[in-house]
Chains A and B, each alone.
Chain A
Amino acid sequence: MAKTKTDLSWQELEIGGIIIHPGNAAEYKTGDWRSTRPVWDTKRCVRCGACYIFCPDASIYETEEGYFEADLYHCKGCGICAHECPTQAITMVEEEE
């Protein structure tokens, strides 16, 4: 993996701080902004994928069984998934650490 911005010295930055590699926002772990995290109840989940579609940070992925989980390195805990879930299968749980 390329160096993240945090590791770069001033000499290594592109001219004018330009970003030439697309998609590097994924390198920025926004998960530590979170105060609550989404927890799925697979008994209620109908695997519609609404949470996956609505997630503004593309941090929900589909499991092998067709259910959904959050990528906690990037999930900011905004709760949009829980709000949009048609079967109320997602609960936002307080982060205790």
Chain B
Amino acid sequence: MGKRIGLEVSISAAEAVKMANVDCVGAYPITPQTHIVEHLSELVNDGELDAEFIPVESEHSAMSVCAGVAAVGARAFTCTSSQGLALMNEIVHIVASMRLPMVMILANRSMSGPISIWNDHTDVMSIRDCGWVQVFANNGQEVFDHVLFGYRVAESEKVMLPVMIHLDGFILTHVIEPVEFWEEEQVARYLPDFKPTYPLHPDRPVTMGPLGMPDMYSEAKVAQDEALIQSKSEIISAWKELGDIVGRYYKPIEAYKTEDAETLFITQGSFGETVSLVVDSLRDEGEPVGLLMDRLWRPFPFEEFRQAVGNARNLIVIDRAISYGGQGGPLAIDVRSILYKEKNQPNITNFICGLASRDVTIDDFKNIYSKSMEKMKTSPREEDFEYYGIRGK
């Protein structure tokens, strides 16, 4: 077992990137991701990590650097947040279509405007359909483990796709938590060297990222989507092996006290930890309630999700992003769609809250539970969603 030390989550994330022995970090600082790249630049400067650190002039270049690095068969890392992600958006889509493996940490932050440096998932949802494997980490340990998991999945011959790890800005990035480091030997066993099928090399010239005319663009996109869908089996086996090595077993949908639960909260990211305390408290009061935390966002684990919902009668979906003019938050829209074919559809209520780091406390979640129970009793399908805690609403 590796050493267990108290560290800021950003610093331990950077240490995990070091353990993954990356070849190049191309990054531009942006709050709240800054500490991760700052620490990586120190590790490279101090000779603790033998890698190129390329301090680029924009996030568009950061992702372009990573594309080039992955294309030659080297290991690339970058991380960003909200506006930085928006600026690199073009290349984020392109690396997925070019099947270039890499890991990016997204320190989740609201999209401006109004200008906000705080935390929610509006940046995550802005690139929901970019074609990356996307996982949510709920605490520092999960971030650490998922950096190594990320490279393992991304570089797998069966996957060859970039992996994005979502962690809540400030709420996780700037918090000190105990994190258990891996032993070098465990990393060596878990993460083999990266061997791409067609590395860019003068001796074996290939054309990467060519034009896709209308007569083959659709086939190329279907091939890309199939690759993402099929990556799920590799993701599951990479989690299984991670568990066998370090003793922490992860699942696409994490369930907490769901046995005999009539009502389930559904969350993404660090809210899961808060809601688990809410579930404890409500269970003490005799309420049959449980929690599902969505860890794997894309490819969405439909089968596991349906199984996890089981016979629950009510679902309370918590969203931290807006689909403007849409039918609720992005998570709720997916949840409703997934359960459409079920014979006994549960009632679904959706609350959008916690935008730009606005606190949603245990009492707030209990209040959400009461509101939801009221709606379930009277008119569960009348309202598609509700903004929680808005002055004047």
Contacts and interface: CB of A to CB of B under 8 A. Distances in A.
Given A16-B99, A16-B100, A18-B198, A8 B160 contact: no
B226 A5 contact: no
A13 B210 CA distance: 12
Interface string A1-45: 000011011110111111110100000000000000000000000
Given A10-B220, A10-B222, A22-B205, A17 B215 contact: no
B258 to A, nearest CB: 38
Interface in B201-224: 205-210, 212-213, 215-216, 219-220, 222-223
23 contacts: A10-B219, A10-B220, A10-B222, A10-B223, A11-B223, A15-B99, A15-B160, A16-B97, A16-B99, A16-B160, A17-B97, A17-B98, A17-B210, A17-B212, A17-B220, A17-B223, A18-B98, A18-B198, A18-B206, A18-B207, A19-B207, A20-B198, A22-B205
Interface string B155-170: 0000010000000000
Contacts of A6: 215-216
Of A14, A16, A17, the most chain B CB neighbours within 10 A belong to A16
Contacts of A19: 206-207, 210
Interface residue range, chain B: 20 to 34
Contact of A16 (B98, B205, B222): B98
A5 B215 contact: yes
B116 to A, nearest CB: 35
SS of B interface (majority): loop
A15 B210 CA distance: 12
B197 interface: yes
Contacts of B212: 17
A70 B210 CA distance: 27
A13 B223 contact: yes
Interface in B130-159: none
A8 B219 contact: yes
The 4 tightest CB contacts between A and B, nearest first, are A16-B99, A19-B207, A10-B219, A10-B222
Contacts of A20: 198, 206
A20 B213 CA distance: 17
A16 B215 contact: no
A11 to B, nearest CB: 7
A5 B216 contact: yes
B163 to A, nearest CB: 16
